[in-house]
């Protein structure tokens, strides 16, 4: 999962970031939710399944 943000033209070319099949924005959105869930589990001291 891409953590975002993207350095267009440095890490990856503009055409790849802006391409209609690019999943970077979705990966960034999902990655935030996943990291928040993992942090909550860890902070509560729960064991991960």
Under a CB-based contact definition with an 8 Å cutoff, are residues 19 and 46 in contact?
no
pTM: 0.54
CA 5 to chain centre: 9
SS3 8: strand
pLDDT of residue 17: 83
| pLDDT one-digit tens code per residue, 1-49 | 556 777 778 888 888 888 899 888 888 888 888 888 889 988 998 776 6
pLDDT of residue 10: 85
pLDDT of residue 21: 92
pLDDT of residue 29: 81
- Those residues whose C-beta lies under 8 Å from the C-beta of residue 34, and which sit 6 or more positions away, are 1
pLDDT of residue 27: 83
């Amino acid at each position: 999962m891409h953590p975002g943000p993207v350095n267009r033209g440095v890490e990856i070319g503009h055409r790849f970031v802006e391409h209609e099949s690019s999943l970077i924005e979705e990966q960034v959105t999902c990655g935030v939710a996943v990291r928040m869930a993992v942090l909550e589990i860890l902070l509560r001291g729960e064991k991960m399944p």
